[in-house]
Amino acid sequence: MARDPASARGRVPYFLTGSMGMAETKTAEGKDSMLVAKWGAAASRYRELNDQLMDPSVLGQQDLIRKLNKERADLEDTAELFEVYQGLRRQLHEADHLQKDGSVDADLRALAMEEMRELEARRRDLEQKALVLLVPKDPRDDRNTFVEIRAGAGGDEAGLFASDLMRMYLRYAERKRFRVESIEADETGIGGVKNVVLFVEGKGGYGTFKHESGVHRVQRVPATEASGRIHTSTVTVAVMPEVDEVDVTIDPKDLRIDTFCSSGAGGQSVNTTYSAVRITHIPTGVVVSCQDERSQLKNRTKAMRTLRARIVEAERERQDAEIAQTRRAQVGTGERSEKVRTYNFPQNRVTDHRIGLTLHKLDQVLEGHLDEIIEGLRTASTHAAVSEAE
């Protein structure tokens, strides 16, 4: 009997195991049993949480209720899918019994065999969905996030493209109903930006934007290029989750706070009051500044939020670099200088090199239509995590 392609991926239809080697069968079945055990444990925990939330002794403990409700919400889809899976396994058992029953006529047994094939396909699909749900989620995904955009190589053209990316992210965030404010901006004076930090507020902010980190390359003819020659410029994007004050302790003695006159397009308060704030964290050398508000206090509050996020991100990058050093010989990880995405204006093309996705609708992407790219990156990231889990 020909092997079902699914069995080669580690999913073993009950009616095909006889055609496989004993060792291969045991290995695949072992993976399945581990998955079902983990899946069942999650469903069991979901039922326990439902019971706990109905316990009169818990009703008066608001903090505990919030904690239990969050855990319950995280497990709900997994538990509901497990119930569907259990029902499908019962159907498989019944169909298997029917097609093995010698007292049943051949036509009915053939129908039972066909039903089993369909049920097996559904079983594999449910198991793949379960694998995705059971992959540990990044606890930072639901947090607000900072998106830092810096002009790289390319002079003024890089600054102009940095401004284009800023507008792209603003439009995308608006479509996703995130609230965005500018924390820091250094304009070039010709419509570009050297550096801009956006604060994206809303559930899932970091999880939505985190794959945008990296070097973004643009290929286009600058408006100032008389010969029509295509220039290549780069912009770097860094995405950092907002951290709670409890996540990082900053000693006020380690801060140097400078105030200066704000600069901008004009207005009564510009260059007349020392409302702008620059904060330096002396131990790490991290410097942030903010001049968006007329109030020095508001600018200081904004700057401290950015400072906390940058300090945590710097420590995380240090730890990641240490881990990457030991892994580099085993896996082909790219360097930070690698281009994650190319925006080619003459061809109206955008290519994300990490997942090999090319779209010939750059004009739409720059208008904030990033769903296809971001969902592709999320899917690839999940599949990579699933492969590791398997």
Let me know if residue 148 belongs to a domain: yes
Instruction: Please provide residue 371's backbone torsions phi and psi, each rounded to the nearest 5 degrees.
Output: -55, -45
Residue 185 C-alpha from the chain's centroid: 25
Candidates 219, 224, 227; CA nearest to 348 is 219
The verdict on 96 and 153 lying in the same domain is no
DSSP 126: H
Cβ pair 127, 78 in contact under 8 A: no
For residues 99 and 323, which has the higher predicted lDDT (pLDDT)?
99
Chosen domain end from 134, 151, 166: 134
Higher pLDDT, 12 or 364: 364
Burial class (CB in 10 A: 0-12, 13-18, 19+), 246: exposed
Tokens read off for 357: 């996705």
| CATH code for the domain of 322 | 3.30.160.20
Do 11 and 130 have their domain in common?
A: yes
Tally of structural domains, the chain: 3
β-strand pairing of 339-344 with 214-220: parallel
Interacting residues of 43 by C-beta distance below 8 A, sequence separation 6+:
75, 78, 79, 82, 83
Confidence category of residue 32, pLDDT binned at 50, 70, 90: low
Q: What percent of the chain has pLDDT over 70?
A: 81
Mark whether 226 and 251 lie in a shared domain.
no
C-alpha dist (Å) from residue 263 to 156, 198, 275, 369: 20, 18, 10, 33
122/155 same-domain check: no
Please identify which residue in the block is written with the tokens 């007349």.
272
Alpha-carbon span 249 to 136, nearest angstrom: 27
Are residue 156 and residue 213 in the same domain, yes or no? yes
Same domain, 130 and 148: no
Helix (H, G, I), strand (E, B) or coil at 303: helix
Look at residue 339 and tell me if it is in a domain: no
pTM over the 0.75 mark = no
pLDDT in tens, 100-137: 887 878 888 888 888 999 999 999 889 888 887 888 88
Q: Round to whole Å and give the CA distance between 126 and 271.
A: 63
Across the range 208-217, mean pLDDT stands at 92
The answer to whether residues 103 and 28 belong to one domain is: yes
242-256, 264-278, 286-300: which is most confident: 286-300
Same domain, 126 and 229: no
Residues 128 and 161 in one domain: no
We report the CATH number of the domain holding residue 187 as 3.30.70.1660
- Work out the pLDDT band at 10, boundaries 50, 70, 90: very low
Does residue 335 form part of some domain?
Answer: no
CA torsion through residues 181, 316, 136, 371, sign: positive
Q: Is 336 inside any structural domain?
A: no
The CA-based angle 279-298-269, given to 5 degrees, is 95
Domain closes at, from 134, 152, 180: 134
Question: Minimal CA–CA distance to 330: which of 251, 388, 280, 254?
Answer: 388
Confidence of residue 336 (pLDDT cuts 50, 70, 90): very low
Q: Would the pLDDT of 29 be above 80?
A: no
β-partners of residue 14 are: none
pLDDT for res 139: 83
Cβ atoms of residues 72 and 118 within 8 Å: no
The winner for highest mean pLDDT among 33-42, 89-98, 329-338, 349-358 is 349-358
Q: Order of strands across the sheet with 276-281?
A: 255-260, 276-281, 286-290
Given 134, 151, 177, the domain boundary residue is: 134
224, 252: one domain? no
Per-residue model confidence as pLDDT tens digits over 155-205: 888 899 999 999 999 999 999 999 999 888 888 878 888 899 999 999 999
Q: Indicate if 20 and 144 belong to the same structural domain.
A: no
Distance from C-alpha of 340 to C-alpha of 353, rounded to nearest angstrom: 5
Domain that includes residue 169, residue range: 140-242+356-390
Higher pLDDT: 179 or 304? It is 179
Domain-embedded: residue 351: no
Is residue 377 a contact partner of residue 352, using CB atoms and an 8 Å limit?
yes
Amino acid 21: pLDDT: 43
Domain-located, residue 41:
yes
149 and 121 together in one domain: no
